[in-house]
Structure 1
Amino acid sequence: MLLELILVLAILASLYMSWNIGANDVANSMGTSVGSGALTLKRAILVAVTFEFLGAVLVGKHVTNTIAKGIVSPTLINPHVLMIGMFGALIAAGLWVTIATYLRLPVSTTQSIVGAVMGFAIVINMDLIHWNVVGDIAASWVISPLLGALMAYIFFMILKKFIFSKDDPIKEAKIVMPFFIFLTAALIAMSILFKGLKNIGLDLGLWNSLLISIIVGIIAMIIGYALLRRYKEDLMEKDKYKKLENFFIYLQVMTAASVAFAHGANDVANSVGPLVTIVDIYNGVPIGSHVTIPLWVLVLGGFGIVIGISTWGYKVIETIGKRITEITPTRGFAAELAAAFTVLVFSKLGMPVSTSQVIVGSVMGVGLARGIATVDYRVIKNILLSWVFTLPVAMAFSAGIFLLFRYIFLG
């Protein structure tokens, strides 16, 4: 009876954490699109709902393994105690993300769940924690926003040098944009094809996935080039730069979709990782064996993210899209393309990277490419402080909740 009760409560807690992920992290993929005017809030939510769900169900398996058994040594913990700990970790992480979302702060849900899992493990025995894995994860939290910032800076500087600095930016855009269309389409295809279809029984492998992605990119580039060639410039048109920005709206929507897919793939683990452990214990699967991830668990996580996006996602969107630096379609495109690239690389490596940190880093990279004065450092300071507090607060919440639940359930 105890196992059934904990399982049901854990499913609800996982759904609650998924809701929080959708509410806080939707800004990671849609904030720049809404901030630039490329998408209305309603359309952004529709795009996010679709691609977040697909990413969670198709690719969410990789990072879930790390959350489920990579942070602590499950074989050294009593199964009932482990179930209670993982259940409490979901509640603790969810509470902190709820507070952050209310304050409109884009915190890391990855840091929240990692800190929460560490929190209950510390109460039991600090030696249970795989400090080398935690160290690798922590390193990714530092490297990923820096990589995102660097890639966004490079992408925007390419646009600036080869398009915006030219006497006829429209003419130059027709030459340069097909390259970015190729890159965007190939990235989206690669994110889906490489290890992304295993859950439906299709494993194409690296080279086949890469070949098909390149072909998809080339087809998209040819179509884009043909459409751009059809555009006839109005000789009386005064604001060429405004027209140029409109060109990039379509690319920004594509990159927003790819970031949403990448986020669903990476961050669904933050809500279903602990649940997977609980389900395995309930089903009598030996602790420490290969983690099995039922499809219904990934669907549950994807569904919760969708609900969070639809009900409360607008709060943090404003912070990402409007308060860090001024966003236009070209700037948003550069930031989102960089974020999609960075998050997907780490996802394929099985590292639970923070998409919040990546997109904030990418937006900062675009801002710095325009000049250091264009970045609002007061907003950045508040975001950085929330990142610093996330891990210890989640650990403290988790430790307290674990002690309470252990007393309630086990006496």
Structure 2
Amino acid sequence: MTAYLLFISIRRFILGADNPLVAAKRYVPLYLFLVGIILAMMTMLKALHHFHLHLGIMNTSGLLLLTTMLVMAVGFIAMRPIFAKAHLNRHMQFIYIESMFSVLMAFTACAMVFAHGSNDVAIAVGPIAGIMSLVRSGHTMHNGMMLNGIMLFGCFGVVLGLFMYGRKVIETVGSSITVLTPSRAFAATLAAASTVVVSTSTGIPVSATQTLVGAVFGVGLARGIDALNLNVIRNIFMSWIITIPVAATIATGFFYVLKMLFG
């Protein structure tokens, strides 16, 4: 829903304007501010919580605003050549507008990677951390050094999985569900990253991959049902429905086998 509304706003205020490039110069800074504030909230609040820092509302707000301004400054520097363009035909205007959103995409991609690392890796290594803590000390209170080692192990697994099987997922999410442009991908990744970080901050375990697929689906839906590859979407939803009971059944089977072997 968030991705759907984001892309609807981009199409309404920029892509559908009489002079799209002029409209982009007016509204893209607002989207850049939105990206900056979300990135700042993601990094600042997570970092402050991780290092147990309590700066107070005023100091935290000031640091949040400073980080947002820094992100916006970097974005404006990167987009400065595009902002200097004028008197272009409509086709060229759309090309430069998508170039603007390519810059924003660099930030939202970082946000999505951050969200993935703060959520999916944590979910994957959580059971391992609990088991190792139980074996070592007899309870599930996690040791900081042990957790760091397990998280590094999880990061290695993420990188290895990306190199081995990431291409297939990239192709599916990037082009098979619906045709993505930088503006559409910006709406999808920003919505997905925001959703994952908010969910993670409240302790709700969600899948970053499933959230991103839902965001891409929302962007495609904003362009009409014909813009979606319904066969791919059907297969994705079927896999989500099947994998949960299958994984639960296999885990139950392994548990009883190990219980019989080791008592």
TM-score > 0.5 by shorter chain: yes
**Map of 1:407 onto structure 2:** 260
CA distance in 1 between partners of 2:60 and 2:125 (Å): 27
1:6-405 matched pairs, under 5 angstroms: 150-199=1-50, 201-204=51-54, 207=57, 208-222=59-73, 224-225=75-76, 228=79, 231-233=83-85, 235=87, 237=89, 238-287=91-140, 290-292=141-143, 294-405=147-258
CA distance in 1 between partners of 2:206 and 2:88 (Å): 48
CA distance in 1 between partners of 2:174 and 2:129 (Å): 34
TM-score normalized by structure 2?
A: 0.89
CA distance in 2 between partners of 1:344 and 1:193 (Å): 12
Q: Which amino acid aligns with 2:53?
A: D
CA distance in 2 between partners of 1:274 and 1:365 (Å): 32
Q: Which runs of 4+ in 1 moved over 6 A?
A: none
The 1:365/1:206 distance shift into structure 2, 3 A limit, reads farther
Unaligned runs of 5+ in 1: 1-149
* 8 Å Cα contact 2:78-2:103 kept in structure 1: no
Q: Which amino acid aligns with 2:137?
A: G
In the comparison of the two structures, how many residue pairs are matched? 258
For residue 177 of structure 1, report the CA deviation from its aligned partner: 0.9
* 8 Å Cα contact 2:177-2:229 kept in structure 1: yes
For residue 292 of structure 1, report the CA deviation from its aligned partner: 4.1
The 1:233/1:313 distance shift into structure 2, 3 A limit, reads same
The 1:224/1:253 distance shift into structure 2, 3 A limit, reads closer
The 1:153/1:314 distance shift into structure 2, 3 A limit, reads same
CA distance in 2 between partners of 1:250 and 1:374 (Å): 25
The 1:184/1:277 distance shift into structure 2, 3 A limit, reads same
For residue 369 of structure 1, report the CA deviation from its aligned partner: 1.2
Q: Which amino acid aligns with 1:327?
A: L
* 8 Å Cα contact 2:75-2:103 kept in structure 1: no
The 1:223/1:257 distance shift into structure 2, 3 A limit, reads closer
For residue 216 of structure 1, report the CA deviation from its aligned partner: 1.8
* 8 Å Cα contact 1:195-1:204 kept in structure 2: no
For residue 355 of structure 1, report the CA deviation from its aligned partner: 1.4
The alignment's C-alpha RMSD in Å is 2.2
Identity over aligned pairs, percent:
36
Q: Which has the higher contact order (CA 8 A, sep 6+)?
A: 1
CA distance in 1 between partners of 2:76 and 2:95 (Å): 20
Q: Which amino acid aligns with 2:197?
A: L
CA distance in 2 between partners of 1:213 and 1:256 (Å): 20
Between 209-218 and 378-387, report the one with greater CA deviation: 209-218
* Cα deviation 1:322-372 (Å, max 9, x = unaligned): 111110000000000000110000011111112122111111111111122
TM-score normalized by structure 1?
A: 0.59
The 1:278/1:239 distance shift into structure 2, 3 A limit, reads same
For residue 168 of structure 1, report the CA deviation from its aligned partner: 1.3
Unaligned runs of 5+ in 2: none
